[in-house]
Structure 1
Amino acid sequence: MTRSRALAAELHKTLTLPAAWAGVTVALLGSLLITVLNAYAVHADPSAVAFTAPLEVAFAAMPLGTVGATVIGVTVFSSEFTGERQITATLAAVPDRVLVLTAKAIVVVLLVAVTAVVTMPLTIGVARLMIGESVSIPEAVTRCLGAALYWILSGLIALAVTVFTRSGVVPMVVLIVNGSLVSFSLLLSKVSALGFWLPDMAGRRLFGDVPTVEGGLGVVPGALVMAGWTALLLVAAAAVFHRRDTMG
């Protein structure tokens, strides 16, 4: 099977998965709902909140998209090992496991990117409409690109981790908890600077001026470190996936 056909097959397969659409829904509707709630609070009493600009209100909700990206990344691979174990049919059609994993990674990038393209302008527009203040287009574009990159890298990291476990339960729980409730990297950063070099903490400034902890890496170094972690994990995942193939 050619690369384009393998990619088309993986894309079609992913678009038929309810869990993948659940990830899209979490990113889109979750971000929109939080933006509406925050914007309503600002509109009702601007002096009672820490941020009032539409961009700040909108981007305060953007980290929730990380959860959606994580669900997508986990689902793309873990779905192969549920039910009738689709992985057997997948490898029969495409014996090259590196090609399979590459196609899945591209699907994650495409689906998360499209979700970001729809979600981010929509949340910014809603925040602007409810609050009534103007928005700097260059700043909005820059911050959207940074947040979209964070979402994409998070989705790819989730994909790589799922390759190691094959089951989606553990990576889904750990990564979602880490990204939305208790960041293990954040806790580590309280006692050691090493915490700032872990993926989620390294790339956190990609969201722009969203309030975060002091210290750590800047936007560009942080993005490079997070991208480096993503590349390293994907290479390791490809090696593990290939080794399982050769070992039968």
Structure 2
Amino acid sequence: MSLLDAELRKLLGLRTAWIGLLVGFLAAPALVFVSAGSTRRAIAEGLYTDSSDLGFQTLGIGVLGAMILGVVTVSSEYTPTGEDAPGARQLTTTLAAMPRRARLLTAKGAALTLVVAVQGLVTTVATLALTRLVHGSLVPSPAPGRLAGAVLYWVLIGLLAYALTLIFRNGIVTLTVLVVNTSVVSVSYLLTKVTSAAVYLPDIVGAHMFLNEVGDHDVAPVTAGLVMSAWVAALLALAGWLFGRRDA
């Protein structure tokens, strides 16, 4: 069995990972139906200047699933292995089996990427199809490039959560910050009201890959993808460096 296969099995064998899978697969499509009435009224009242964003905006709640998966990929390694050894962690066993840390992190990241990419693709297609089914001709057919941008955003958010959890070594703190910033009060969005430079923060700039309207600033989709990818690459590099220096 390859290391990638082992990490895929480990990830999909986690109960908390299945919470992320269910949230990612079901939340956005369900929201399409729950919000159908209010959305129709908003369209009729002219509140949507670009109705092509409708299905894509709904994906915001589903991306929480990618965050959960990114966090538990790492946080599971820091859980105690059992009551008979309260000081031991799964990480100790993992490093004993695979002492090459760079290779281990690469396999974990690859496993996470595969799972999140499939989840993002299936959920995006399903959500956009249901949006068209519910709202008909009010919503134009999505361009393939926007669909690809949404899936890439999904993957990069999962990797962002993965990197941050490696950096902070605390899944609860990382997930709380990410969920609050995404669904309650977006600090990144508030910062864009203070300075236009904040539009290049990873969670804000990434949305420009598939949404036509994101706040008061415009960023080209390709530029948005490059900037968010650079953020994630930098955080992954920092996380890998810290992991190699401090985790025993």
Q: State whether TM-score is above 0.5.
A: yes
1:1-248 → structure 2 map (5 Å cutoff): 5-42=2-39, 46-48=43-45, 50-51=47-48, 55-84=52-81, 85-133=89-137, 139-209=142-212, 211-245=213-247, 248=248
Percentage of matched positions with identical amino acids: 39
CA shift digits 1:218-238 (9 cap, x unpaired): 221121111001000001111
Q: TM-score under structure 2 normalisation?
A: 0.89
Q: Could you list the runs of 5+ residues in structure 2 that have no partner in the other structure? A: 82-88
| Distance apart, 1:67 and its partner CA | 1.3
Contact preservation (8 Å) 1:128, 1:135: yes
Contact preservation (8 Å) 1:76, 1:108: yes
Contact preservation (8 Å) 1:43, 1:130: no
**One-letter amino acid of the structure 1 residue matched with residue 158 of structure 2:** G
Q: Could you list the runs of 5+ residues in structure 1 that have no partner in the other structure? A: none
CA shift digits 1:191-221 (9 cap, x unpaired): 1223112111221211222x42111532211
**One-letter amino acid of the structure 1 residue matched with residue 148 of structure 2:** L
CA distance in 2, matches of 1:46, 1:157: 34
Contact preservation (8 Å) 2:24, 2:65: yes
CA shift digits 1:80-134 (9 cap, x unpaired): 1113121111111110111111111111111111101211111122122222328
**One-letter amino acid of the structure 2 residue matched with residue 122 of structure 1:** A
Stretch deviating more after TM superposition (21-30 or 69-78):
21-30
CA distance in 1, matches of 2:148, 2:157: 14
* CA distance 1:43–1:135, change in 2 (3 Å): closer
SS of aligned partner of 2:155: helix
CA distance in 2, matches of 1:208, 1:88: 43
CA distance in 2, matches of 1:52, 1:188: 24
Q: Number of residue pairs matched?
A: 241
Contact preservation (8 Å) 2:12, 2:18: yes
| Distance apart, 1:181 and its partner CA | 1.7
CA distance in 1, matches of 2:164, 2:171: 9
CA distance in 1, matches of 2:143, 2:72: 30
| Distance apart, 1:141 and its partner CA | 2.1
Q: TM-score under structure 1 normalisation?
A: 0.89
* CA distance 1:54–1:26, change in 2 (3 Å): farther
